[in-house]
Chains A and B, each alone.
Chain A
């Protein structure tokens, strides 16, 4: 009952704290990862956080909630949150919520030709 299908790796750069998220982000996994990220952000109080999304295999609207929540936390802490390399599927969900108007995104993946599974 306590399996978590996602996580993140931390890289402390000079310019930013980079969190590379991997796995599947849904409501179940978002609850766990949210607590872990917030603990880290409150401890380290970074000026800039980059969420690298290139290793995300699945995300639904719970992931939107996760990103928007961390965006709000970074604003409260007087810092900045950026997203890096979301693939096409994620951009599709971000667009529905107008997330690009709130959060800066760098290196979004271009549309790729669809293949049969």
Chain B
């Protein structure tokens, strides 16, 4: 099925304050919504982990020392592809390609492994990142589920 033929079949929007306790809530809600597409256990585990990484980045980096809002949009398409957008209005990323390097972290003191983007990239088909310093960051995770 071509991209032009795929249709949006369902959509969910979430808005959460950047409390760390919401990391588990965010991944649980996103995975519960995606479950209606009948994914494999490994696929849902991939989604949970990628979402957890993106949401943690909002909490640890974008809204460091403050509390802001995390906006999550999940779109399910007829070709079994899933698009998850995780957006913040935090500090932004100065150098996106550097931030995406494995083991790179700006917060080594807090034992951040620097593997967040690497995990997202390996568990999703595509990861898009757009950011503006002082304005915020949008991470878009794309994953196509295997056929039933």
Contacts and interface: CB of A to CB of B under 8 A. Distances in A.
Given A96-B118, A114-B41, A117-B44, A1 B113 contact: no
Contact of B39 (A1, A62, A116): A116
B20 A31 contact: yes
A115 interface: yes
Nearest to A70: B111
Interface residues of A, number: 29
A55 interface: no
Given A5-B24, A28-B23, A60 B118 contact: no
A5 B21 CA distance: 9
Interface in A81-114: 89, 92-93, 96-97, 114
Contact of A69 (B21, B38, B111, B122): B111
Contacts of A24: 24
A57 B88 CA distance: 28
Contact of A117 (B24, B35, B112): B35
Interface in B121-145: 122
Contact of A96 (B43, B44, B102): B102
Given A93-B119, A97-B103, A58 B112 contact: no
A116 B40 CA distance: 4
A92 B115 CA distance: 12
Given A27-B56, A61-B116, A96-B122, A66 B39 contact: no
Interface of A: 1-3, 5, 24, 26-28, 30-31, 34, 58, 60-62, 64-66, 68-69, 89, 92-93, 96-97, 114-117
For the complex of A and B, the 8 pairs showing the least CB-CB separation, nearest first, are: A28-B20, A65-B111, A61-B115, A64-B113, A65-B113, A69-B111, A114-B40, A60-B52
Interface of B: 19-21, 23-24, 27, 35, 38-45, 48-49, 52-53, 56, 59-60, 102-103, 110-116, 118-119, 122
